[in-house]
Amino acid sequence: MTTAKLKSLRVRELTKSFADTAAVVGFDLEVVGGEFISLLGPSGCGKTTTLNCVAGLLDPDTGAIEIDGRDITRLPPERRGFGMVFQSYALFPHLTIARNVAFGLEVRRVPRAEIEARVARALDLVQLRGVGERYPAQLSGGQQQRVALARAIVTEPALILMDEPLSNLDAKLRLEMRLEIRRLHQALGLTTLYVTHDQEEALSLSDRVVLMRDGVIEQSGTPEELYSQPRSLYVASFLGYRNLMPVEVGEVSGESVSVVANGLPLTGSRRGAVAAGTPAVATIRPKDVQVLGPGSPGCIAAQVELAEFVGDGFELSADAGHGQRFIARTLDRWSVGDAVALRLPPERLLVYPSEAR
Amino acid sequence: MTAPLARDKAVAPSRPAPRRRRLDGTLLLVAPAVLLVLALFVYPFVYGLALSFQPYGDNEANGPLGSYIAFFGDARERLSIWNTVRLAIPATAIDVALALPLAYRLRRPIPGQRTLTALFVIPMTLGTVLIAEGMLQFLGPAGWVNKALLAIGIVHEPVRFLHNYLGTLISLLISDFPAVFLLLLGYASGIDPALDRAARVLGASWIQRTVRVTLPMMLPGIAVATALSLVATFSVFPSAVLVGNPAGETRVIAFAAWQAAYEHFDYSEGSAIAIVMGAIELALVFAALSLRVGGYRRLTAEAGR
């Protein structure tokens, strides 16, 4: 384990608009050397714009970017010395793999012998020994991705920026490369800013996740914080709360709140300003919905509508009457038409105020 | 074509017998085009080639190569090759050099891109004759350009733009620019913009990006544009006559062929000169296309990835 070259990256009040659309508004972030930070959000949330501003490929309208206390907001990208991995890999098609990886060193006029040694080492690190003389078009997508990684790390940058690097790979390779990226990050003591729309990727890779929406940070924190304490309905729905029910709020007592969803009385945990008599949304993860045998006390009676085998169990869609459906994950085998009882643990059923925006 | 066939063969064991290749009826649709090429290109070419080996008049004494000997034996005739080369190569070089940065700059939508592109392409719609007509007005001794130059005081007597080498060169520059520009624009817009960004982040300055990424990526386009422009400028005829000096410095090879055939009525020598011209053009095209060699050619198709 090496120590990070970077001490800190600060992004202050970053704002960037395109024509009339605000892409990023008042973005603040402080990154400590060695951290792996993900910018997470759907397309158009401003995460890539933010990354490009940090890279210097876009000029922010206002705000500042500082590296170790030095303002680099107006420094051109070629003088920032960062590494970047692009979604399309952006390998130079006319150069061999070795020359691609060497590019950053060649433009820095590193001596030839040293370039050769460092390129070989970088290709070793990404487990691509022996492909140096080939051209990018001769490699598979996964290999091209590794080359892009090698090219970004060979200059030993203080900061690595990654723009959805795995989104062009198939599911299996994606998992493999995810581990690879995290391994390199740790082994080389990198500081990484990673853009993705994949919550699983963000949660598994990151020390901290910044979830963005419409150019604004919706919540930032450790993966555990986001996962277990989503601050808003938006965060919750983005992080796998797939049961979303419009409810009417009954009694509120402290954290506990009783609500009615399509005529079903439920008890949940209050999140945010939820007041009696106001509309709200209750939400729970499929895997938190407990599926029990019919007639279990204190449960909702329902009937299995769909049962999907998902490898490590079943995903059920169960109809609880009044048009209320629940998605549940369970290890037990249930068949379509089975009568079941659903238990929604109150501490797992989160009730958020309805969003006005 | 070959790839799917090969794959068919690989799966063949499950099939009882190899299918016989049947002629696709739609193939007949190319018949008119083939006939046209045969009638308008192949036949005249073969006819001319044969004619060039049947010398006429005094040249007959020198055997079948008589017309060629006559052409190459005459210093004034030989000079027409040089007169053409010294027009075609600078015109091509200047057009490519001007079009390249413009095409690269205009490869992505920027304000006014459409207007600019349209402006650059307009000369294509004008024939060489019309361009020459315009030049006669515009660049003549009493034209606007000379008036302006005199008024500013840069020159003290009108500059001779017309009826010389310069006139022909300017006319070629104008008439060839659109094709070169459009071709390069096509190539430039096929380059993944992420490549330039990647090079920037990797620390490459503007010059380094141009030399190491942009130019090599554009090279196949530059080669094709150069080849096309060389061919177009090599067969220059109208502008050499209308705004050049066909009796002297712009007596180009096409003019020499025309003179032999239609002033001296020696069709054989006219054909021989045309064949020489064709051979030189072919050599220039191959020279231009050889720019593409190196590791990159086979990867052109992947340029957009």
**In this complex, is the C-beta atom of A92 within 8 Å of any C-beta atom belonging to chain B?**
yes
Structure tokens belonging to residue A164: 């959805």
Residue B160 forms part of a structural domain:
yes
- Closest-CA distance of chain B to residue A134, Å: 10
Cross-chain CB nearest to B305 (options A80, A88, A161): A88
Residue B1 forms part of a structural domain:
no
Q: What pLDDT digit, counting tens, does each position of B6-52 carry?
A: 444 444 444 555 566 677 888 889 999 999 999 999 999 999 999 99
Q: Which residue of B has its CA nearest to A150?
A: B202
Inter-chain contacts counted by CB atoms under 8 A, chains A and B? 87
- List chain A residues with CB under 8 Å of B302: 93, 136-137
The CATH number of whichever domain residue B126 belongs to comes to: 1.10.3720.10
**In this complex, is the C-beta atom of B291 within 8 Å of any C-beta atom belonging to chain A?**
no
**In this complex, is the C-beta atom of A80 within 8 Å of any C-beta atom belonging to chain B?**
yes
Residue B94 forms part of a structural domain:
yes
Residue A151: the pLDDT is 96
Average pLDDT over residues B142-165: 91
Q: Which residue of B has its CA nearest to A56?
A: B201
> How would you write the pLDDT of chain A (357 residues) with one tens digit per residue?
456 788 999 999 999 999 888 999 999 999 999 999 999 999 989 999 999 999 999 999 999 999 999 999 999 999 999 999 999 999 999 999 999 999 999 999 999 999 999 999 999 999 999 899 999 999 999 999 999 999 999 999 989 999 999 988 888 889 999 999 999 999 999 999 999 999 999 999 999 999 999 999 999 999 999 998 899 999 998 998 999 999 999 989 888 999 999 888 999 999 988 888 888 999 999 999 999 998 888 899 999 999 999 888 899 999 998 889 999 999 999 999 999 999 999 999 999 998 754
Residue-averaged pLDDT of chain B: 86
Structural domain count, chain B: 1
Sign of CA dihedral B55, B59, B65, B70: negative
**In this complex, is the C-beta atom of B129 within 8 Å of any C-beta atom belonging to chain A?**
no
d(C-alpha A184, C-alpha A127), whole Å: 11
Residue B303: the pLDDT is 41
Structure tokens belonging to residue A329: 């994950």
Which residues numbered 135-194 in B keep a CB inside 8 Å of some CB on A?
Answer: 192, 194
8-state DSSP, A241? -
Nearest to A234 by CA among A41, A22, A10: A41
Q: Which residue of B has its CA nearest to A87?
A: B194
Residue B4: the pLDDT is 43
Residue B11 forms part of a structural domain:
no
Structure tokens belonging to residue B97: 């050099």
**A268 contacts: CB under 8 Å, gap ≥ 6:** A256, A257, A258, A259, A282, A284, A344, A346, A349, A350, A351
DSSP E strands, B111-235: none
Residue B155 forms part of a structural domain:
yes
Residue B2 forms part of a structural domain:
no
- Closest-CA distance of chain A to residue B216, Å: 7
Residue A217, CA atoms < 13 Å, CB-side half-sphere: 20
8-state DSSP, A267? E
d(C-alpha B171, C-alpha B151), whole Å: 25
- Closest-CA distance of chain B to residue A76, Å: 8
- List chain A residues with CB under 8 Å of B213: 92
Beta carbons of A135 and B295 less than 8 Å apart: yes
Cross-chain CB nearest to B203 (options A81, A91, A94): A81
Beta carbons of B205 and A107 less than 8 Å apart: yes
Residue B40 forms part of a structural domain:
no
Range of the domain at B136: 88-266+282-302
pTM of the full predicted structure? 0.80
**In this complex, is the C-beta atom of B114 within 8 Å of any C-beta atom belonging to chain A?**
no
- List chain B residues with CB under 8 Å of A79: 203
d(C-alpha B2, C-alpha A117), whole Å: 42
Cross-chain CB nearest to A77 (options B195, B201, B219): B201
Q: Is A163 exposed, middle or buried (0-12, 13-18, 19+ CB in 10 A)?
A: buried
**In this complex, is the C-beta atom of A78 within 8 Å of any C-beta atom belonging to chain B?**
yes
**In this complex, is the C-beta atom of B217 within 8 Å of any C-beta atom belonging to chain A?**
yes
Beta carbons of A93 and B217 less than 8 Å apart: yes
Q: Is the pLDDT of residue B2 over 80?
A: no
Among A75, A78, A85, A153, the residue to mutate for chain B (most B Cβ within 10 A): A78
Amino acid at B283: A
Residue B115 forms part of a structural domain:
yes
